[in-house]
A and B are shown apart, each in its own frame.
Chain A
Amino acid sequence: MMKRIIVGIKRVVDYNVRIRVKPDGSGVALDGVKMSVNPFDEIALEEAIRIKERGLAEEVVVASVGPTDCQAQLRTCLAMGADRALHVHSDTPTEPLTTARILLKLIEREQPFLVLLGKQAIDDDNGQTGQMLAALWARPQATFASKIVLAEGKAQVTREVDAGLETLEVDLPAVVTADLRLNEPRYVKLPEIMKAKRKPLETLSVESLGITPRVQLRTVRVDPPPQRQKGMLVENAAELIAALKAKGLLAS
């Protein structure tokens, strides 16, 4: 069987955009805002491509659940070096559990030995899909990966945890989610963008996979965060210390 990696991709607001909450509290204004591949997913994809370049995988398949527009991000991924793309069409955002169910269907079809996802998407900041997928698949998970070493039927994954670094060994297949320091994604060159147009991109419907999306969480409203008051400027170190003492933050 083909040694295959599936990488999950989400189309999100670019990380450089300063988002704005709609005045009516119904959500975040997304019209005309620059959209990109979720940065953590890009890192996951870079890792998959490097694994293939080292001869440890034969095919990298990117998969995204989202509206037709997310095909643009899938094309970017093909230009980066993915071989094939799967687009599962959904005009409404799917909750992580539904996304995980959909990805599981793709896994059953594609039989990957490794599934790589970003550790979180920078729009909803949920950080759930990889772990949920691993649970539904009843396979190992290694989240927040900063290093992946593959061996026969196994992977050693170093994870960034609160206390420092932790290394796990997992049997394959497994789900690994990428943290920032796993790698630095490559820049896409123009000829690759042209070539990517000819790579296969298949569109599937959620229903054709036998899944009924479930929306459990109801969004009541979206508010802007409380603003901090603009503070004061001091001129030098001595004034800084005096100001801290005045606030009771340093013993005087």
Chain B
Amino acid sequence: MSAAILIVAEHDGSTLAAGTAKCVACAATVAQAEITVLVCASDAAAVARQAAQLQGVHRVLTVEHPVHAHPLAAAIAPQIAALAAPYTHVFGPSSTFGKDLMPRIAALLETAQVSDIMAVESPRRFRRPIYAGNAIVTVEVPEDAKVVGTVRTASFPAAGTGGSARIENVAPPAEPPAHTRFVSSSAAKSDRPDLQTAARVISGGRALGSAEAFQMLYRLADKLGAAVGASRAAVDAGYAPNELQVGQTGKIIAPELYVAIGISGAIQHLTGIKDARTIVAINKDPQAPIFEVADIGLVGNLFEIVPQIEKLL
């Protein structure tokens, strides 16, 4: 039996988010998948064109409505549920966008959701992390149910480009509710690489002790073309903004190089970096749990070591 997979695109109104290409790569590992990407936007043209270029995408559907100028789960979910009938699978990224939206769709479709799919074992069998990644469960969705899932983007490469799927506009019958309204967002624009997709990440913990000390990491990151990350303790203390948090409740990332500076390596933090290719740890405590996962460890005072590294680069 073939699979008809609907992927909910994430975007900011003009650019398709990297997570969508990873959902496509995940969907492509389902046998005989026919992949449709759905773009909900106030003006979907630019994003739809990018989605149509993804390798493996069969067609792109657009739903245009002024309410979709900002992604509101309460507005998007009923429209997707209304379009879902022909599909065997509905996937979205396990970003905050997808985590917010997909369970609302699943409930409207009266089906269970598989969160954070990290591997596809069969069209209905998936592996996903539980207990902050300290166990991996394999679950199976019954034949009579639609598969609704979020895709753990760190587990998949991005689908390539060069495709040319056809684009179709559709108007689902469901009218979005008015009970939820967008007020504002504080998305900080930065010229630095995006934490979620960066090949190199320099991350700081509580040991930095101040927002000023964190500037040292930004300088190092700029020299290396790296993104900056942080532990929860560093964010809680106000040394770094919340969008930099890495871990169970922050971002799950898979860079080529992750440098943990003054981070102890609590399980909730480690779950965010398990897929990093190389982990470097700089910590003054040789017993710190971060050294159990680090490929390269350096025991010492970060306030001496980081400036030395900066000088040597």
Contact = CB atoms under 8 A, between A and B. Distances in A.
B50 interface: no
B223 to A, nearest CB: 10
B113 A126 contact: yes
A249 to B, nearest CB: 5
B185 A166 contact: yes
A220 B103 contact: no
A169 B181 contact: yes
A163 B296 contact: no
B281 to A, nearest CB: 9
A48 to B, nearest CB: 20
A219 to B, nearest CB: 6
B113 A160 contact: no
Interface of B: 12, 72-74, 77, 95-97, 99-108, 110-116, 125, 129-142, 145, 177, 179-188, 196, 200, 224, 232, 235-236, 241-243, 248-249, 251, 256-257, 267-268, 274, 278-280, 282, 291-300, 305, 308-309, 312-313
A95 B135 contact: no
Contact of A136 (B107, B113, B141): B107
Contact of B235 (A125, A181, A219): A181
Interface in A107-153: 119-120, 122-136, 138-144, 146
Q: Is the interface of B mostly helix, strand, loop or mixed?
A: mixed
A234 B293 CA distance: 15
A238 B184 CA distance: 46
Interface string A224-248: 1100111111111111110110010
A224 B97 CA distance: 29
A225 B186 contact: no
Given A13-B131, A180-B232, A122 B106 contact: no
B115 A128 contact: yes
Contacts of A233: 291, 296-299
A237 B108 CA distance: 55
A240 B140 contact: no
A221 interface: yes
A97 interface: yes
